[in-house]
Amino acid sequence: MSRTFEQAHAFGTDLFGLERFLRGVHSCLIILQSYPPLLALIAPLFTIPAASVKPAYAVIAPLKDQVNITRRYIRTFKFIDSYALAYGLVTGAAGPKSLETYLDIFYGTFMGTFGMLETITLPDISGVPGLSIFGREKTIYLNIEAQRLWLFGLVCSVLSNGIKLIKLFALAPVPSGEAFNVAEKKVPEGKEEELNAERERLKKIVDQRKQHRAAVKAKARVLMRKMLADTMDMIIPLTSLGWYVSEPGVVGSVMLVTSVLTSLDTWEKCRVQVEKRHQ
């Protein structure tokens, strides 16, 4: 079994990875529904007869709704993680909290409430006849409010990660001390052992500095990717709330891109798990 297949298997069996995969499928269905000629264009690639394109298109809308409901079921208790994040930050270390910490607290609260509203309205959107808690109008209202909270959470996330990114570069501690002293010590002539030891010391310093820079770059890459994904995702609740006019196809395209961006951390985590199994 190739490691790539093992990694894909680990990703597919990871709850968040599965939800991200279905989100990608959901976004593709939105795109196909928004641009009917696109389905006819790609039909030959999947050996779909021309006569079957129209019936296939009729299936997209209900399939899209079912995928969306499935994603919600997977996220049933995800909102607890968001509340736990906010609670942990509130009850964390004593003393004054930074601005980004407060933003993270608001983020956890908004996202937790957003997820909770999606969870409690699941019976109403499940499509099961006679299964309803709030009724159609109340369900629509609660889901609109959920979109509003999602937007607020995304704004807090972008601002928090932006501050963290600035601090990462502007306020990051500069390596110092004896371990990072690159000034070459004078070694008396003829003492090869001391000369070799000095060379080894300098080599370690260079390696440590490389590791430090690599760690900063890796953290910055994660923060920038999260900021980009959250900023792009804002178009979804903005469109749902009517605060921004956008075509469904654009929303689907944004969902597809952000699904990939938000899947990368889990994909990398699965790669590390596979490598550990082969060690």
Please provide the average confidence, as pLDDT, over all residues in the chain. Answer: 88
Decide if 113 is inside a domain: yes
Decide if 83 is inside a domain: yes
Map residue 111 onto helix, strand or coil: helix
Decide if 220 is inside a domain: no
Extract the tokens encoding 84: 């736990």
Look at residue 187 in the predicted model and tell me its pLDDT.
52
- pLDDT classification of 42: cutoffs 50, 70, 90: confident
Within its chain, how far is the Cα of 258 from the centroid? Answer: 7
Average pLDDT over residues 128-141: 94
Decide if 112 is inside a domain: yes
Q: Considering its fold, how many domains does the chain have in total? A: 1
Which residue segment(s) compose the domain that 108 sits in?
A: 3-156+235-277
How far, in Å, CA of 117 to CA of 124, rounded? Answer: 12
* pLDDT tens-digit map of 150-179: 999 999 999 999 999 999 988 765 555 554
Decide if 198 is inside a domain: no
How far, in Å, CA of 201 to CA of 181, rounded? Answer: 9
Q: Per-residue pLDDT for 106 more than 80?
A: yes
How far, in Å, CA of 120 to CA of 62, rounded? Answer: 22
Decide if 133 is inside a domain: yes
Decide if 115 is inside a domain: yes
Decide if 177 is inside a domain: no
